[in-house]
Amino acid sequence: MTTTEARQQIRILVQAAAQVCEDKKGQDTRILELDPIDAGLSDFFLVTSATNDRQAIAIADEIEHRLKKEFGVFPNSVEGRRHGEWILLDYVDFVIHVFLAQRRAFYDIERLRKSARPLTPAEFDAELKAALAARTLAARSKAAAKPKPAAKKVVRKAPAKKAAVKRTAIDKTAIKRAAAKK
């Protein structure tokens, strides 16, 4: 898998996780595309807020469940699930932070990652669709440029056994007639 294909796969996973946040009523969901300088840490941060610890745990559980079920991806580590104030799901290439609103304001991850490009899930989705459309067009143009192999001609031969059987039957009747005449 090339780096662009791997990056597209990561984007799809992050978008699926952002969709879970929206489905579970996460608030102010943001995707931070980290600067290549920070890329040694991770490529994306997904940050969302919950109104209470039960909702935070439910969001984190559903993200983990859906990514496992649909993509077969497991988090490398999970932190903070017991308390539910700040749950961190580390998928190596992207990290998901589920905060209680007051904890998110206190830690202010968006401010700490000033060099990161903030994206809303809608912007991220539009960008992802545009990239996938470009890849699809490129693949289609490649397929159109390849010469198509010539179709093989199918030649059907008459079954040899039936003709031989008919001849044998005719020969036998001719022999019988000749014997009857004598």
**Contact between 94 and 31 (Cβ < 8 Å):** no
Q: What is the pTM of this model?
A: 0.62
CA dist 89 → 3, 43, 53, 92, 143 (Å): 23, 14, 15, 9, 40
Domain 3-144 has CATH 3.40.50.1450: no
Number of H helices, E strands in the chain: 6, 6
The model's pLDDT over 92-141, given as tens digits with 9 standing for 90+, comes to: 888 888 988 888 888 777 666 655 655 666 665 666 566 666 667 777 77
> Which stretches of the chain drop beneath a pLDDT of 50?
none
